[in-house]
């Protein structure tokens, strides 16, 4: 905390809720001592829609599209988690080929999420050109996913028991071509952003988060990996077809904003590795489990399933009482926990630095206000 004399006074400053750097209706109430922050208080709830309550009034199929609205940037991971939770509850075995297709599409969706974050984040810090590069690459993935799923953002592609559409040769060829294209582009991103002295000065040693703080606040995803903890659900609690693939968990050293950027960029390289391996080892066979009931009515019980989204650990907890509707659904979203450390990370920083710190968390407000 800054040392303040008895005569000094602080004032309050609103960052949001209508502010470009909050990426949604998030309000951060800042108590300022001149240019420096004494206290930061996130004010959430402006976009609350009651997804978990909706689940109690819909059957299992009807609630499936809601997942793409909780985290609209990595909708397929949320889609997958909910499907896996229901499948676990029902004892449904998903065919191997369907699991591979889920992994391929979920990792492509992870890439689109990270690209949007990098482009928008650099705009928050005053750089416009990287935004154009990121969205150029992102559009290529969206075209591929659009052709397969019929959507470009709020995906609802997976089904209980598998996937509704198989991959064709054109999709596979287009994905392979994109992998080669993106690998040639890393040097451009390194020269444009990673080695940019202005970006380095804005992000190095800013918003440092220690390993102890990560554990205290329950941080996950690039937030915890940026602080040097190699925690990734895909490795820690392997699910779907991920145990079949060889990939690494990138981690940072200092836990600052720059490290969180580096982790996400390296994660994209690992996503390409996973997608390429999945395409090379794509098994033959059905894409849907046999005899999946059209009207799900699982036996009484409870289940929890977690997956690794672009922002961290997403968990879906379902309680069934033997009805066609879930008795209770609770969603454990990463952005809610990740945002909780903002007050501590913001103290004694400048307002411009808070924009950099908040942006490095990559929060999706509909997750928080679910």
One digit per residue, the tens of pLDDT, for the chain of length 370 reads 455 554 568 889 888 787 777 777 888 999 999 889 999 999 988 888 899 999 999 999 999 999 999 999 999 999 999 999 999 999 999 999 999 999 999 999 999 999 999 999 999 898 899 999 999 999 999 999 999 999 999 999 999 999 999 999 999 999 999 999 999 999 999 999 999 999 999 999 999 999 999 999 999 999 999 999 999 999 999 999 999 999 999 999 999 999 999 999 999 999 999 999 999 999 999 999 998 998 999 999 999 999 999 999 999 999 999 999 999 999 999 999 999 999 999 999 998 899 999 999 989 988 988 8
11-368 maps to which CATH number?
A: 1.10.645.10
pLDDT of residue 15: 85
Q: Which residues of 295-317 are buried (b: 16+ CB within 10 A; e: fewer)?
A: ebebeeeebebbbbbbbbbbbbb
The reply to whether omega before 361 is within 30° of 0 (cis) is no
pLDDT of residue 256: 93
- Taking residue 138's Cβ as centre, other Cβ atoms within 10 Å add up to 18
Give the whole-angstrom CA distance, residue 267 versus residue 273: 10
pLDDT of residue 3: 56
What lies within 8 Å, CB to CB, of 49 at 6+ separation is 69, 366, 369, 370
pLDDT of residue 262: 96
The reply to whether omega before 17 is within 30° of 0 (cis) is yes
> What is the SS3 assignment for 335?
helix
pLDDT of residue 4: 53
What share of the chain in percent tops pLDDT 70? 98
């Amino acid at each position: 905390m800054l040392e303040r004399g008895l005569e000094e006074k602080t004032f309050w400053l609103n960052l949001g809720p209508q502010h470009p750097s909050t990426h949604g209706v998030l309000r951060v109430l800042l108590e300022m001592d001149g240019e420096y922050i004494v206290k930061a208080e996130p004010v959430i709830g402006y976009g609350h829609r009651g997804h978990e309550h909706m689940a109690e009034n819909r059957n299992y199929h009807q609630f499936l599209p809601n997942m793409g609205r909780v985290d609209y940037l990595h909708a397929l991971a949320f889609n997958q988690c909910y499907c896996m939770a229901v499948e676990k509850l029902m004892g449904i075995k998903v065919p191997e080929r369907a699991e591979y297709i889920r992994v391929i599409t979920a990792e492509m969706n992870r890439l689109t999420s990270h690209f949007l974050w990098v482009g928008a984040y650099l705009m928050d810090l005053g750089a416009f050109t990287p935004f154009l590069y990121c969205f150029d690459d992102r559009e290529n993935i969206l075209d591929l996913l659009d052709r397969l799923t019929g959507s470009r953002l709020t995906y609802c592609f997976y089904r209980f028991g598998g996937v509704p559409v198989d991959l064709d040769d054109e999709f596979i060829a287009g994905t392979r071509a994109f992998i080669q294209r993106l690998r040639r582009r890393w040097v451009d991103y390194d020269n444009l952003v990673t080695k940019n002295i202005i970006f380095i000065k804005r992000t190095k040693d800013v918003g440092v988060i220690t390993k102890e703080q990560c554990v205290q606040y329950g941080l996950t995803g690039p937030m915890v990996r940026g602080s040097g903890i190699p925690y990734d659900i895909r490795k820690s609690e392997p699910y779907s077809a991920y145990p079949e693939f060889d990939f690494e968990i990138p981690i940072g050293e200092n836990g600052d904003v720059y490290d969180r950027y580096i982790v996400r960029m390296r994660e994209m390289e690992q996503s390409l590795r996973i997608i390429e391996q999945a395409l090379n080892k794509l098994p033959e066979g059905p894409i849907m489990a046999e005899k999946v009931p059209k009207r799900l009515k699982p036996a009484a019980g409870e289940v929890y399933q977690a997956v690794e989204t672009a922002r961290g650990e997403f968990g879906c907890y379902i309680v069934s009482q033997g009805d066609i509707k879930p008795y209770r659904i609770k969603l454990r979203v990463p952005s809610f926990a990740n945002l909780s450390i903002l007050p501590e990370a913001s103290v004694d920083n400048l307002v411009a630095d808070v924009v950099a710190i908040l942006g490095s968390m990559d929060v999706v407000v509909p997750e928080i206000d679910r």
